[in-house]
Amino acid sequence: MAKLIPATERIVRARKLIQQARDLPVPTTGLGRSDFSYIAQVKDLMRQARDLVKFIPQTAGVSAEMKEEVKKIYDEIEQAVQEILY
């Protein structure tokens, strides 16, 4: 059976995934930032981060502060995608 991950740990892991996407080296050969494998890696990391936190707001007993943190994570993901890919 899968181990449950607390909401605070999910937020920490999501931020680590966002940082991993920022730290990915831009390919120097070929298309650079337009390289399909690079784009796919970035989007996959962002999807994983989004999937970690997407059900936190619907969970019973979650504080308003935690819900606000999830909104911040979504904003960080969107900002990171804009900075990395565009």
Q: Is 35 helix (H, G, I), strand (E, B) or coil?
A: coil
Q: How far is CA 26 from CA 21, 37, 41, in A?
A: 10, 11, 11
Q: For the whole model, what pTM was predicted?
A: 0.90
User: What gap in Å lies between CA 62 and CA 2, rounded to an integer?
Assistant: 21
Structure confidence by residue, pLDDT tens digits, 20-44: 999 999 888 878 888 899 999 999 9
- Name the burial class of residue 70, with classes exposed (0-12), middle (13-18) and buried (19+) by CB atoms within 10 angstroms of its CB: buried
Q: Using pLDDT thresholds of 50, 70 and 90, give the confidence band for residue 72.
A: very high
User: What gap in Å lies between CA 42 and CA 34, rounded to an integer?
Assistant: 12
pLDDT at residue 1, rounded to an integer: 66
